[in-house]
Structure 1
Amino acid sequence: MEPLVSPLPIHGNSVQQRWLSCCSLRTLQTWIPILTWLPKYNLRWLQMDIIAGATVGLTTVPQALAYAEVAGLPVQYGLYSAFMGGFFYCVLGTSKDVTLGPTAIMSLLCSFFIEGDPVYAVLLTFLCGVIQASMALLKLGFLLDFISYPVIKGFTAAAAVTIGFGQVKNLLGLKNVPRQFFFQLYYTFQKIPEARLGDVVLGVSCMVLLIVLMKMKSTLPPLSEEHTATVRAAHKLVLSAATVRNALVVVGAAIMAFALEAPNRHYFTLTGKTSKGLPPFRPPPFSEITPNGTIISFTDMVLDIGGGLAIVPLMGVLESIAIAKAFGSQNNYRIDPNQELFAIGVTNIMGSFVSAYPVTGSFGRTAVNSQTGVCTPAGGVITGVIVLLSLAYLMPVFYYIPKASLAAVIICAVTPLFDYHHVIQLWRVKKLDLVPFMVTFLVSFWEIQYGIVGGLLVSGAMLLYNEARPKIKVTDHDFLLMELDSGLSYPAAEHLSHVIYNHALLVCPPRSVVLDCHHVSRIDFTVVNEVRDLIQQFRLQNVTLIFSGLKDCLLEVFKAADLELQHTDSVEAAGASLLGNTHHDRGPVG
């Protein structure tokens, strides 16, 4: 007797095949990209990765200290955030160039939600990582596609202004200046008479030196075979000095501050005492006890962070993937956006165990990494080791770093983010895109998160308006030919009816219509219901509505709705049908 169901071995084989597919080398390489390039690793790659990693490390340390100041945290938290990315991105990342760590924009975003509290910063890191990794596992990276280019550029430009001006107080040695931009603007100018001469001179000098080194690097002519050994050595010296200019400036300023420091006389505002050694490895905090003994629960902390749980992880991923795509295109390789999302998520989750605040890809350090000739993500491991060595042995030295020098580093780092060329391009390409750009840019000075949300709402409204108002080209061929240029969905249903009524049914005499649907690939129930009413109105007026070029999938939808309509494969066939059996389709359009 034959069994009523398939034998178990067949089902078992199917499960076994799926299990083997999930555990195949190809699947493992997709989720753990290091398995792709590690077997091919060689000494030449190792040499280039060490050089690039060390160069980026010398750039990372001073920037990390400076960006912690932007986030409103003690400077050591910048270093706590700067090393995990190198280790985990090496295993999980798909770009050889990208370096993960603290950035100016992420630091600014975090500052609005953590209010200078390290406990909130670490919890935000953990939650960001969980959200990002979950999005990767659920394949939700497509949500980033809804953040338009004008919104990104508007936010970036506003962030550059906010961060840059926020460091003016440190450049002038001012104290007790609020963090909110407009109050900061007012009180900075009000307190200019209180500026400290030492901080001003040092800060301006550091900025001039950074700008000079930056210009030297950008104008340095390429080497050729005709150049002598001396010229080549000088070229490499200048290039190296320009590449690690941040480290040179900060170290030089710290040496000067140490040399001039006296017990009763302080020429510069110093970074001050910092925690020594490596951060403890421990789970992120899920509650906080305030100095007065009040316990803040996990729920209350999440509510306090609020919109930061959406904005911080999304903007972090967006920034990193944009950088990875840019350098992948430049260096002829492709990245996996979903895997990048997973790599950033895991990095933030693990970073929360070492007291890090949220990190993302850094454009400046990624550019240094690429230009130095990095071959694999292993360069990030070298960078991470340098940061760890700084934490282990150099923390007492950081006491003497003047805040004015860190302010100079930040201002020079964020200035290129404000690029007016993008505004000119938007004006030339599509002027309407300036609307979400300007909304994002201006509102961000009030609150960064409101600027992003405002820009997204304006961009979404523009997108929905285009969806609700598809272009309908109307021409007269002894009947009305109406050509649709896109799909039809429920926001467009009323607009379609309005156009057909005005041009065909509200004129005297009424006109027959051929609706060219060659470009239509989707409809919904609202559109079907509207078409049903239109067909009924055409029958009452004793004129004809013919659909031309309907795809099979659309015909199936109409058939499922029990809707009888006339349709032809081509406009010519529809016209021949109408001209063969109608006699009153004359008169002007509309």
Structure 2
Amino acid sequence: MECLEGESCGRRLHPTLTCCFSCNSLQKRLPFLQWLPRYSLQWLQLDIIAGITVGLTVVPQALAYAEVAGLPVQFGLYSSFVGCFIYCFLGTSKDVTLGPTAIMSLLVFVYTLGDLSLAILLTFISGCIQLAMGLLNFGFLLDFISYPVIKAFTSAAAITIAFSQVKNLLGLQDIPRQFILQVYQTFRKLPSTRPGDAILGILCIAILLALKWMKDHTSRPYQGMSICHRICYLIVWIMTTARNALIVVGAGLVAYSFHVMGLHPFILTGKTAKGLPQFQLPPFSEITPNGTKTFSEMVQVIGSGILIIPLMGLLESVAIARAFASQNNYRIKTNQELLAIGLTNILGSFLSSYPVTGSFGRTALNSQTGVCTPAGGIITGLLVLLSLGYLTPAFYFIPKAALAAVIICAVAPMFDLRICKSMWKVKRLDLIPFFVTFLLSFWEIQYGILAGTFVSIIFLCYPIARPEIKVSDMDGLILTPMSGLSFPAMEYLKDKIYEKTFTVSSPQSVTLDFTHVTAIDYTVVVGLAELLSEFKAQGVCLTFSGLQPPLLHMFSSSGLTELHHFHSIETSGGSFQEDESTQPLLRNGIVSLP
């Protein structure tokens, strides 16, 4: 019953049954079948190294991002391992790692306000929407969110996330989450800064920046380098790559040392639930002090997050996958990526996960360490599970200031206004959706994204509604649309013709040159019929030139009569010549080709 040839399988498995899918289609839905037969020992070694490296990064980041989402820190780890295993089998990028991210954590808090039941339900609904989009091949919808909108959103999100951690960095209490109020209250309460948290947080940031600088400026090993130098390089590489883990562990040891001496200069993470999450249904209702919230009431509370969260999750993950696929010379399949992240979120909701997506920082780290296949994610997932099983008691002593330092350093590279200089040189209009998104995102994230996308779509549609029309005057007017015609442009075309023809003292004959028009719609056909009637009533000649056969067929199907068509326009001398061999014949009021 197995087919290993890689060809379409049409053999009969039973007198009344035939194989309903090919091996190729199975490989498309399960991409690991393409690389698994070629898997080698060398690939295994590189995947293990990459998996351990990413795992040392994902654990401290997961704890920190849960704080951004307003959830207990263990839920960051609950959200970090499911995607590692699912993506190994369904993902088409060797580099992408799925898990909690700064932007997704911020969005989760915006729509759930730290309500755990809402966050888990949102994970399930997001996964269903993402899975449905993948099955229906709706990946093209992501292409309508322009790059300026994406960059503006990520830059605004970087500022919002980083500033939200200032309170933890300085040990401030009772700071609101709304950005404007947060800025006001943070500055107002600066005199209440806790010295211990501030010193530790700033020191952690300084060490993280120093380690990153070392990573960027350390020369790679070369042939002939001594063993001593190679060992030193390896030590530096491990320290700089796992810098987040080193900071969290080091800060935790410092806090524990003070705790032993009876001192408490830092605000600590506190007690963390031990062990793996329980496998259970997502909460489709919620018991509150004011009664039970039904599923519909929970959905109403989430509001527009039902659409924003899955779309932003897909956008972030697919954009990252495309970037690294281009960098490393392979291709991804967008709709298959939607299936992978959708199934990850659906299964993750049964394990108390909040919505996840692709992580740019961890994906970059995965790529830099030489990962060969998505199997490296299995090692990362196992490290997260080991942390949940054995390390959660140690999380008690992690200072919140250290986690804040990790988040601030992680999101800082996302802030990038250099793109404004490039847009100014390339197309200045793109600055409008950029700044609309950037500024409104500080008010409400969803409004910034929606407004920026809306402005981008307006810019996209404007040339369709107002196409360029070239006007020539040679013994009669020649109007040449320089692009396709569709229903938004019909009134504009009619106004242009009326302006040039009927607003002058002596109307001229008009020729519509459709050489550049390859497609029209029913509204255009109706509009042209109205033009023909108007010109006939005024006693003015309206002719057509350069109509393609598909357009002639559409005119004939609509029953359009008295259509005078010229195959080409001879501009020399300004005369119009009708080609009898290609002129459509009018028979019984219907245009047809000879």
Question: What's the TM-score, normalizing by structure 1?
Answer: 0.93
Please give the alpha-carbon distance, in whole angstroms, between the structure 1 residues aligned to 2:126 and 2:220: 43
Distance change (3 Å), C-alpha of 1:368 and 1:341: same
What is the aligned partner in structure 2 of residue 505 from structure 1?
Answer: 502
Which residues of 2 match residues 82-161 of structure 1 at below 5 A?
A: 82-161=80-159
| In 2, Cα distance between equivalents of 1:533 and 1:452 | 41
Q: Deviations over 1:313-350 (max 9, x none)?
A: 00000110111111111111100000000000000000
Residue type of the partner of 1:229? I
2:71 to 50, 73, 90: 73
- Contact 1:548 1:569 (8 Å CA) reproduced: yes
Structure 1 residue 525, shift from structure 2 partner: 2.0
Q: CA deviation at 1:473?
A: 1.5
Residue pair 1:65, 1:79 contacting (<8 A) in 2 also: yes
Mapping of 1:213-224 within 5 angstroms? Answer: 213-224=211-222
* Matching residue within 271, 274, 284 for 2:272: 274
CA displacement at 1:562 relative to structure 2: 1.3
Give the direction of change, closer, same or farther, for the CA distance of 1:499–1:338 in structure 2 (3 Å limit): same
Letter in 2 for 1:133: L
2:434 paired with 1:401: no
Unaligned residue ranges in structure 1 (runs of 5+): 1-11, 581-590
- Residue 522 of structure 1: how far off its partner (Å): 2.1
The CA deviation string for residues 411-467 of structure 1, in whole angstroms up to 9 with x for no partner, is: 111111111121212211111111111111111111101111111221222223222
| Cα 1:279/1:513, change in 2 over 3 Å | same
Amino acid at match of 2:184: Y
Matched residue SS, 1:572: coil
**C-alpha distance in 1 between matches for 2:555 and 2:12:** 38
Give the match for residue 254 of structure 1: 252
Q: Distance in 1 between matches of 2:401 and 2:40?
A: 43
8 Å contact kept, 1:514–1:575 = no
Tell me which residue corresponds to 1:301.
298
Q: Per the alignment, in what secondary structure is the counterpart of residue 289 of structure 1?
A: strand
Task: Check 1:475–1:308 CA distance in 2 against 1; reply closer, same or farther (3 A cut).
Answer: same
8 A contact 1:173–1:200 mirrored in 2: yes
Question: Would you say the 8 A contact 1:546–1:574 is kept in 2?
Answer: no
Aligned residue for 2:7?
A: none
Contact 1:172 1:196 survives alignment (8 Å) = yes
1-structure distance, mates of 2:234, 2:542: 76
Alignment of 1:373 onto 2:370: yes
Structure 1, residues 141-164: CA drift from partner, whole Å, max 9, x if none? 111122121211111111011001
Corresponding letter in the other structure for 1:80 = Y
Query: Hey, what does 1:444 align to over in structure 2?
Result: 441
Query: Deviation string for 1:490-542 (max 9, x for gaps)?
Result: 11111001111112332232222222222222222221121112122323343
1:286 equivalent to 2:277? Answer no
Query: Retained in 2: the 8 A contact 1:514–1:574?
Result: no
Identify the match of residue 354 of structure 2 among 351, 354, 357. 357
Asked if 1:563 is matched to 2:560, the reply is yes
1:544 CA displacement = 2.5
Separation in 1, partners of 2:207, 2:391: 24
| Contact preservation (8 Å) 1:83, 1:384 | yes
Contact 2:569 2:576 in 1 (8 A): no
Alpha-carbon contact 2:545-2:567 (below 8 Å) kept? yes
Letter in 1 for 2:518: S
Aligned residue pairs total 569
2:62 is matched with 64
Within the alignment, does 1:310 sit opposite 2:307 as a pair? yes
- Kindly provide the CA deviation profile for residues 182-211 of structure 1, in whole angstroms up to 9, marking residues without a partner as x: 000000000000000011111001101111
2:587 is aligned to none
Aligned counterpart, 2:181: 183
Contact 1:169–1:177 under 8 Å retained in 2: yes
Most deviating of 555-564 and 269-278:
555-564
CA contact (8 A) 1:282 1:353 kept: yes
Cα displacement string for residues 272-300 of structure 1 (whole angstroms, at most 9, x for unaligned residues): 1111111111111111111x261111111
CA contact (8 A) 1:548 1:574 kept: no
Q: Does the Cα contact within 8 Å between 2:152 and 2:437 map onto a contact in 1?
A: yes
Q: Report the AA paired with residue 197 of structure 2.
A: D
1:577 positional shift: 5.9
Distance 1:526 1:558 in 2: 12
366-375 vs 470-479, greater mean Cα deviation? 470-479
Hey, what does 2:204 align to over in structure 1? 206
Q: Deviations over 1:1-45 (max 9, x none)?
A: xxxxxxxxxxx9999999856421111111111111111111111
Counterpart residue type for residue 259 of structure 1: S
Is the CA contact 2:208–2:409 (under 8 Å) kept in the aligned structure 1?
Answer: yes
**Other-structure match for 2:492:** 495
Higher mean alpha-carbon deviation, 248-257 vs 472-481, is at 472-481
Give 2:493's aligned amino acid: L
Q: CA deviation at 1:260?
A: 1.1
Report the AA paired with residue 441 of structure 2. Answer: S
Which of 411, 417, 422 pairs up with 1:420? 417
5+ long unaligned stretches in structure 2: 1-9, 579-594
The residue aligned with 1:4 is none
TM-score (norm 2): 0.92
Please say if residues 570 and 576 of structure 2, whose CA atoms lie closer than 8 Å, have aligned partners that are also in contact. Answer: no
Instruction: Tell me the CA shift for residue 574 of structure 1.
Output: 11
| Residue identity matched to 2:358 | G
- TM-aligned CA deviation for residue 68 of structure 1: 0.4
Match of 2:238 among 237, 240, 263: 240
SS at match of 1:482: strand
> Do the aligned partners of residues 17 and 314 (structure 1) sit closer, same or farther apart at CA in structure 2, a change above 3 Å counting?
farther
2:524 maps to 527
Aligned equivalents of 1:217, 1:347: Cα separation in 2: 32
- Whether the 8 Å contact between 1:568 and 1:574 is mirrored in structure 2 is no
Deviation at 1:173, TM superposition (A): 0.5
The percent identity for this pair of structures is: 58
CA contact (8 A) 2:569 2:577 kept: no
Q: 1:502 corresponds to which letter in structure 2?
A: E
Tell me the secondary structure at the aligned position of residue 563 of structure 1.
Answer: coil
Contact 2:13–2:19 under 8 Å retained in 1 = no
Conservation of the 8 A alpha-carbon contact between 1:567 and 1:574: no
Q: Does the C-alpha gap of structure 1 residues 38 and 14 become closer, same or farther in structure 2, counting only changes over 3 Å?
A: closer
Aligned AA (1:282): Q
- Which secondary structure does the structure 2 equivalent of 1:514 belong to? strand
Q: Residues 500 and 17 from structure 1, CA distance in 2 versus in 1: closer, same or farther, beyond 3 angstroms? A: farther
Note if contact 1:21-1:27 (Cα within 8 Å) is conserved in structure 2: no
Structure 1 window deviating more from structure 2 (125-134 vs 210-219): it is 210-219
Of stretches 66-75 and 449-458 in structure 1, the one that deviates more from structure 2 is 449-458
CA apart distance, 1:168: 0.6
Shift of residue 555 of structure 1?
Answer: 1.3
Instruction: For 1:19 and 1:574, locate their aligned partners in 2 and report how far apart those are by CA, in whole Å.
Output: 70
